[in-house]
Amino acid sequence: MTSIRTPSAALGTVEPALPRETSSAAVPAAPAKTTRLGSLDAYRGAIMLFMASGGLALPSAAKHFPDSPAWSFLAFNTEHVEWVGCSLWDLIQPSFMFMVGVAMPYSIASRRAKGESERRIAVHVVYRAVFLVLLAIFLTSNWSKQTDFVFTNVLAQIGLGYAFLYPLLGRGMRLQTIAVASLLLGYWLFFLLWPASNSDLSAYAPGSPSWFAHWNKNANAASAFDVWFLNLFPRPKPFDFNAGGYQTLNFVPSLATMILGLMAGEMLRRPHGNRFKLGWLAAAAALCLALGWLSGSYLCPIVKRIWTPSWVLFSGGWTFAMLAGFFWLIDMQGWRRWAFPFVVVGTNSIAMYCMAQLMKGWIRSSLQIHLGPFVLPTLKKLPLSVDPLWLIDTFGPVVQSAVVLLVLWSICLWMYRRGIFLRI
């Protein structure tokens, strides 16, 4: 990711870099002083750590405590809901999409402050978009015998929408709001006007409108598109459906999520006081949550897996609220020390993401090879009132996931202290 810096710019717009010489007597302008947005680094790091944790295997442990409300709560919020609704785990990808929008005004302003031309910046935007899609395909193919052309990975979704986000930078909140509304309305009509091949409404709340069937799993407009689109690529067997119901065209409504982030990022760069900015973020959160709930009740279901318009608004409300929380704690109250573990990861998010995708299995198997033989004998020597085998079966995956996460975080800490940051 690009460095997130804050040059002095008014009203959330990013001014073009001044020419190096305007006359024979002109003096080159000094580069604008920039600072990082601490709340964004911490927010990004917290979400990245949550993602890399894999939920700490809490849903697996919760199965041993079926009557415990606390364990049920932990299990629900560390895995995706089946279809309609929202858990904390479901907010990981919307947070990433939202933060891309928040970061763009800062990263582009930083490049302009360094004197980069508009053409070079635009080329870099396209390069980043293409690179993210290719990186997503590479990481997804890590478990396949051949290249797996799948575009539902969060990096691919960001890449597919990134170049379309850039033209809206600095265009004003009115135009950006119109863009969000147009995307949501157009995508809603795209699903609604597609013939519903399945009228089953069992996945939704009783009394849901009959037209909710147009958003059924793997029986909707976006799934029909993927049956055509994904079969254009070489595959070991024809593509029929995605087991989780995820679709390539999710990047269209998720672009609206990124635009919401762009609006937040430009607001945070404006010369208003921090209290005003916090109030704006809180109001945006409340408005999006209310609109998301209303549209989810009467227009289309709240479904993350196909990124319905109601999901854009509902999840957008939560992302505004989380950013507001980090902004209040870090940028307003100045409480930064507690967020250091998050910042270490947030400033190297691409590195953490790649390690989590490529190294977790190797770290886990290494721990099993080198430490596994010592665990059970050690437990048997302790004065325990429960069966050691039950302890290992219940909490072993939790401890193992936590240790893997600690190893990954330690690598990020090592990179952070040596000033090594992976950028795109």
What does the pLDDT average to over 299-304?
98
- Taken as a whole, the chain contains a residue count of 424
Q: What is the DSSP string of 34-102?
A: ----HHHHHHHHHHHHHHHTGGGGHHHHHTT-TT-HHHHHHHHTTS--SSBS--TGGGHHHHHHHHHHH
Domains in the chain, number:
1
Lowest mean pLDDT among 77-86, 142-151, 222-231, 311-320: 142-151
Residue 391 lies in a domain: no
Does 60 reside within a domain? Answer: yes
Query: Which among 422, 360, 369, 371 has a CA at the least distance from the CA of 53?
Result: 360
Whether 295 maps to a domain, the answer reads: yes
Answer yes or no: is pLDDT of 11 > 60.
Answer: no
- C-alpha triplet 132, 225, 297: angle, nearest 5°: 90
Tell me whether residue 258 is in a domain: yes
* Domain assignment of residue 24, yes or no: no
Percent of the chain with pLDDT over 90: 77
> What letter would DSSP give residue 260?
H
In a domain, 166, yes or no: yes
| Closest by Cα among 283, 84, 335 to 203 | 84
Model pTM score = 0.88
pLDDT (average), residues 171-188: 97
Is the sign of the CA dihedral 227, 231, 233, 235 positive or negative? positive
Reply yes or no on whether the pLDDT at 299 is more than 50.
yes
Q: Give me the residue label for tokens 């305007």.
A: 22
pLDDT attached to residue 379? 64
- Residue 203 to residue 205: CA distance in whole angstroms: 7
- Tell me if 40 sits within 8 A of 380, measured CB to CB: no
Q: Which tokens belong to 261?
A: 């982030």
- The C-alpha torsion from 373 through 375 and 379 to 382, rounded to 10°, is 100
Backbone CA torsion sign across 193, 198, 204, 210: positive
Structure tokens at 148: 């797996």
Whether 5 shows a pLDDT value over 80: the answer reads: no
Tens-place pLDDT, residues 209-232: 999 999 999 999 999 999 999 999
Q: Does 343 map to a domain?
A: no
Give me the domain span that covers residue 180.
38-334
* pLDDT per residue as tens digits for the range 51-73: 999 999 999 999 999 999 999 99
Sorting pLDDT into bands at 50, 70 and 90, what band is 373? Answer: low
- Domain contains 421: no
Tally helices (H) and strands (E) across the chain: 15, 0
